[in-house]
Amino acid sequence: MNLDLESYIKEIENILRQKDKNIKSWDDIYPSFISLSKKNASLIKINNMEEDIKKILSYVKPLGILDTERKNKRLKGLKDAVLKLKEKYLVDSFEESVSKYSLFTDIKYVKNVGTKRASYLKKLGIENIYDAIYFPPRDYEDRRKISKIISLEDGYKYFVLGKIVNFQENKINKGLTIYSYAVEDDTGVMEVTFFNQNYVKSYFKIGVTAAFFGKVENNFGKKQMKAPEFQIINNINEIEAKIMPVYPLTYGVSQAVMRKITQNILLHDTNYQEYLPKFFLDKFNILNLKKRIKGLHFPKSFYHKNRALSSLKFDEAFLFEVAILSAKKQFENNIKGFPKQFEGTLSSKFMSSLSFVLTDSQKNCYEEIKNDMKDPKPMNRLLQGDVGSGKTVVSELAIIDNYEAGFQSSIMVPTSVLAKQQYKKIKNHMDPLGIKVEILLGETSNKEKDEIKEKLSNGDIDIIIGTHAIIQEDVTFKNLGFVVIDEQHRFGVNQRLDLISKGFSPDILVMTATPIPRTLALTLYGDLDVSTIREMPKGRKSIKTVLTTDGKSNKIYEFIEKELKKNNQAFFIYPLVEESEKIDLKNATDMYKSLKNVFPDYNIGLLHGKMKPEEKTEIMDKFVSKEFNVLVSTTVVEVGVDIPDATVMVIEHPDRFGLSQLHQLRGRVGRSNKQAYCFLVVNGNLNQDTKDRLLDFSNTLDGFEVSNIDLKWRGPGKFFGTLQHGLPDFKFLDIINDLEIIDEVKREVDNLLEKDLDMSKINKEIKRRYKNNIDLIKAF
Ligand code: ADP
Ligand code: MG
């Protein structure tokens, strides 16, 4: 049986591993190998392994004293031989067969499926044979060994063969009937129970033999399996003593049926040829198509399963990288960039009007951007810098240069509150230079919109600021040369696609305060260039972050009162706008009322997403102009809002927010040379993980580190879920843990695309794989 074979080969490897550590003495391993092969003589015979074992033994024959170099050589020979052994005996493939169907044949035509089941399978995303081939099991069950009942231990999973010797039906209450069977083998009895599954009665009659797979539990001294998988055995040869796949299921499709379906497909219905190039298979030691598909569903050994899954990762990375990199290449060939010419007269003027000098980091980033603008190839650059590091002014300088070169710019921000604030600030900066700025939002009246569109198309507006209404509306530009996308984590590939599909190829600057690891950026965006503002403007005091509980609210209020006396301002942030019946959390509306009583001498404003846009603007303006000393709000203030005198940020229920979001919120204070504070006010008990996560957050001010902590705690799925990153759902790759694979494969593919080879087989497979995502792929 494979199980024995796999453990035998594992033992060989164990001896080798010891040798790896101690190469000095060599001769001692020969006896170990000999005794091992004696012990497994019958196994070797059944599997016709004699020749291969002989070869291994020839590598370990005692040869007296050898120098280290020769010892190493033999060790390598031995290792290769063992690897070959594994590949030969522990891995297999499915049979080549004359296929009845094509890969895209509807799943309903596969044996055991039919129209009804096909409709259920659709829920699992399986519509045709190809989908089923790439439908990954969520787990595997080791059924290679039949265990004796006497040897079963509490808490482990076993495969047991036995005869039904007794039956009991207990109606516990209206909704619950328990069917229990006594199952016997030659060593003992165990109990098998099913709940409400009365169909089992039709299978299990006294005297019937069945195989059961399940977890064994101790039920008052009796060994018990609850609702195990089972198979009625008429003939001992029917026993499927294999590693079995465990698939995710849906209504109407049982595990047994799912297995039958994939088995049938692998047996009869597949005419599926390798598409990965040979050099690639060789380089990364990837199993060929038939072996990796077989290993995914019905691996011969766990070695086979692991090899298959890792091979499928490389396969997936390969197709993905070919798709995005060749699309990108095509895109680059098709667009006509234009170098921009400017002296920088206006930007120098602007720079000298500022009340501060740029940090070295800001200067460097600006230089990088300028170089890109002068280059004929369109810029595609990510400017990352922590909250408050001064990204805006860098983008303004570039926009001024773009104007001097004779082009229009557009600035896209995620919310209209932020758009209005940016508009005001940027307009103030641009007016003295004679540069015309306008704002375009979803809420802008149609009449105004028409005017703005008119002016954009004839060049009367130089800079347009807005939400993505800018690209949604049928806006035409006279000569759009520069696009800033602020706070990129709210924008995704789709927005970029919209721009490109409008026929623009402007320089694109994406700005973000939520940095992502560079390798990840590369995989997400292809060859995006990255500039980083590493230092904060001089004189900034670091924000003190305090994790506390609402029991201490009075202390916090006293503290805030002192700050307000100094003419500083404070934010209070809540997860909800108003009271909710579903969740018991504090909300902005009620807290606004009670905070008014707490700070009777000060003016308090309330801001939330349910307000009309005009209202929001008005409230925000009043906070900026210090008519309000305190602002009670939801996360609408999250991004980019700049209030220099705000020194306190209170966030209640911080556990309801992602860390990157908390970091953004915290970044609303500490934007001047005053000392700033952030209070994370926890209500009630938190579990230890959440507490640790918030503590980790309190201890760092570095946005990069916050991202990493966030990633670590939330996992890539949730972290990137909010990014709209536009990636296809990988089935085998883990975007964080497999970055190295993705990176290695990318380099390979880069080279491959240079060579202009025939890619038709690969491209065909890409179309199969990304049938729904092909538009996204085009965006790169
Ligand atoms: P962010 O990177 O978060 O978008 P901003 O560009 O809004 O940051 O800048 C935050 C604040 O810092 C603004 O008030 C801006 O005028 C100011 N600022 C930018 N650069 C500097 C600098 N080099 N020295 C001092 N203050 C600066
Ligand atoms: Mg900003």
Residue-wise pLDDT for 36-49, tens only, equals 989 999 989 988 99
Residues lining ion ligand 2 (Cβ < 5 A) are 640
The residue with greater pLDDT, 521 or 167, is: 167
Both tokens of 263, joined, read: 């088995």
β-partners of residue 665 are none
Nearest ligand by distance to the CA of 357: 1
Nearest-CA neighbor of 556 among 605, 564, 664, 659? 564
Position 432 in a domain: yes
The neighbour count for residue 233, using CB atoms within 10 Å, is 17
What ligand is nearest to the CA atom of residue 387? 1
Nearest CA, atom 13, ligand 1: 390
Quick one: average pLDDT of 206-235? 90
Query: Is residue 428 predicted with pLDDT exceeding 90?
Result: yes
Nearest CA to ligand 1 atom 25: 537
pLDDT at 524: 56
Per-residue pLDDT tens digits for 287-297? 999 999 999 99
Q: CB within 8 A of 704, min separation 6: which ones?
A: 386, 515
Residue 173 pairs with which residues in a beta bridge? 176
Round the average pLDDT of the chain to a whole number and report it. 86
Lowest mean pLDDT among 111-125, 479-493, 693-707: 479-493
**Average pLDDT, integer, range 249-256:** 85
Q: What is the pLDDT of residue 717?
A: 52
Helix (H, G, I), strand (E, B) or coil at 632: strand
Whose CA is closest to atom 23 on ligand 1?
358
Does residue 323 contact residue 751 with C-beta atoms inside 8 Å? no
Q: Name the residue with higher pLDDT: 198 or 257.
A: 257
CATH number at residue 197: 2.40.50.140
pLDDT tens for 497-513 read: 566 556 567 888 988 87
* Cα-to-centroid distance, 611 and ligand 2 (Å): 23
What pLDDT sits at residue 714?
65
- Residues 576, 522 share a domain: no
Counting residues of the chain whose pLDDT is more than 70, the rounded percentage is: 89
At residue 270, what are phi and psi to the nearest 5 degrees?
-115, 125
Question: What average pLDDT score do residues 232-246 get?
Answer: 84
186 or 767: whose pLDDT is higher? 186
Per-residue confidence at 725, pLDDT binned at 50, 70, 90? very low
Atom of ligand 1 nearest to the CA of 390: 6
Domain presence at residue 252: no
Identify residue 398 by its one-letter amino acid code: A
Residue 561 lies inside a defined structural domain of this protein: yes
Q: What's the confidence (pLDDT) of residue 525?
A: 56
CB count within 10 Å of CB 498 equals 15
Q: Please give the helix or strand (H or E) that residue 503 lies within, else none.
A: none
Q: Is the pLDDT of residue 127 over 90?
A: yes
One domain, residues 490 and 617: no
Model pLDDT for residues 758-775, shown as the tens digit of each residue: 888 998 898 888 775 555
pLDDT in the model for residue 497: 56
User: Same domain, yes or no, for 81 and 153?
Assistant: no
CATH number of the domain encompassing residue 675? 3.40.50.300
pLDDT digit string (tens) for 366-375?
A: 999 999 999 9
Residue 80: how many CA atoms within 13 Å on its side-chain side? 8
pLDDT of residue 632: 96
- pLDDT band at residue 100 using 50, 70 and 90 as cut-offs: confident
Give pLDDT, residue 768. Answer: 86
Q: Is residue 328 part of a domain?
A: no
Give the model's pLDDT for residue 98: 65
Strands 222-226 and 209-219: antiparallel
- From CA 390, how far away is CA 671, in angstroms rounded? 10
**Nearest C-alpha neighbor of 608 from the set 579, 633, 641:** 633
- Decide if 665 is inside a domain: yes
Q: Considering 218, 241, 264, which residue would you say is the last residue of a domain?
A: 241
- Residue whose C-alpha is closest to residue 298's, from 110, 133, 147, 103: 133
Q: Coil, strand or helix: which one is 631?
A: strand
644 CA: nearest ligand 1 atom: 14
Q: Of 16-20, 91-95, 315-319, which has the strongest mean pLDDT?
A: 315-319
Distance CA(123)–CA(115), nearest Å, equals 13
Per-residue confidence (pLDDT) for residue 557, from 0 to 100: 95
Same domain (yes/no): 215, 353? no
Tens-digit pLDDT profile for residues 393-418: 999 999 999 999 999 999 988 878 78
The residue whose CA has the least distance to atom 15 of ligand 1 is 390
Q: Which of 469-473, 536-540, 690-694 has the lowest mean pLDDT?
A: 469-473
Same domain, 378 and 517: yes
On whether both 584 and 500 belong to a single domain, the answer is no
Q: Which listed ligand is nearest to 644 at the C-alpha?
A: 1
Residue 778 has pLDDT above 70, yes or no: no
DSSP percent split of the chain into helix, strand, coil, nearest 5: 45, 15, 35
Name the residue with the closest Cα to ligand 1, atom 24.
537
Both 575 and 520 in one domain: the answer is no
**Whether residues 562 and 511 fall in one domain:** no
Tell me if 750 is assigned to some domain.
Answer: no
Whether the predicted pLDDT of 586 surpasses 80: yes
Report the C-alpha dihedral over residues 762, 767, 773, 775, rounded to 10 degrees.
Answer: 100
Ligand 2 centroid to Cα of residue 665, in Å, is 12
Which atom of ligand 1 is least distant from the CA of 354?
A: 16
According to the model, what pLDDT value does residue 726 have? Answer: 47
222 vs 327 pLDDT, higher one: 222
Q: Are residues 526 and 558 in the same domain?
A: no
Of 57, 90, 123, the one marking the end of a domain is: 90
Does the structure show a pLDDT above 70 at 96?
Answer: no
Atom of ligand 1 nearest to the CA of 359: 23
At residue 724, the pLDDT reads 41
Q: pLDDT of 558-580, one tens digit each? A: 999 999 999 999 999 999 998 88
pLDDT of residue 489: 52
**320 part of a folded domain:** no
User: Is the model more confident about 499 or about 196?
Assistant: 196
The answer to whether residue 456 scores a pLDDT higher than 90 is yes
- Distance between CA 736 and CA 730 in Å, rounded? 12
User: CA Rg, the chain, in Å?
Assistant: 33
Domains held by the chain: number: 4
As a whole number, mean pLDDT of residues 411-438 equals: 91
Residue 507 Cα to ligand 2 midpoint, Å, equals: 19
Regarding whether 156 and 49 lie in a shared domain, the answer is no
pLDDT score, position 97: 65
Cα 391 to ligand 1 centroid, rounded to whole Å:
7
Q: What atom in ligand 1 is closest to the CA of residue 358?
A: 23
Q: Is the distance from CB of 632 to CB of 588 less than 8 angstroms?
A: yes
202 occurs within a structural domain: yes
Residue 318 scores a pLDDT above 90: yes
Residue 776 has pLDDT above 60, yes or no: no
Q: Is the whole-model pTM more than 0.85?
A: no
For ligand 1, what atom is nearest to the CA of residue 387?
3
Which of 174, 206, 241 marks a domain boundary?
Answer: 241
Tokens of 20: 């790896």
In whole angstroms, give the CA distance from residue 589 to residue 605. Answer: 10
Are 736 and 502 in contact, with CB atoms under 8 Å apart?
Answer: no
Q: Give yes or no: residues 353 and 482 share one domain.
A: yes
For position 650, what pLDDT does the model report?
97
Q: Which residue ranges have their beta carbon within 6 Å of ligand 1? A: 356, 358-359, 362, 385, 387-393, 513, 537, 640, 642, 671
* Each residue's pLDDT tens digit, 651-687: 999 999 888 889 888 988 987 788 999 999 998 888 8
What's the mean pLDDT in 185-199? 92
Q: Which pLDDT score, from 0 to 100, does residue 291 have?
A: 94
Q: Which domain, by its residues, includes 592?
A: 544-700
Nearest CA to ligand 1 atom 1: 388
pLDDT at 68: 78
Which ligand is located closest to the Cα atom of residue 487?
A: 2
Q: What is the CA(362)–ligand 1 centre distance, in A?
A: 10
Average pLDDT over residues 419-442: 93
Whole-number Å distance, alpha carbon 542 to ligand 2 midpoint, is 18
Distance 709 CA to ligand 1 centre (A): 25
Residue 412 alpha carbon to ligand 2 centre in Å: 11
Considering the domain architecture, whether residues 496 and 381 belong to the same structural domain is answered as yes
Tell me what pLDDT residue 780 has. Answer: 39
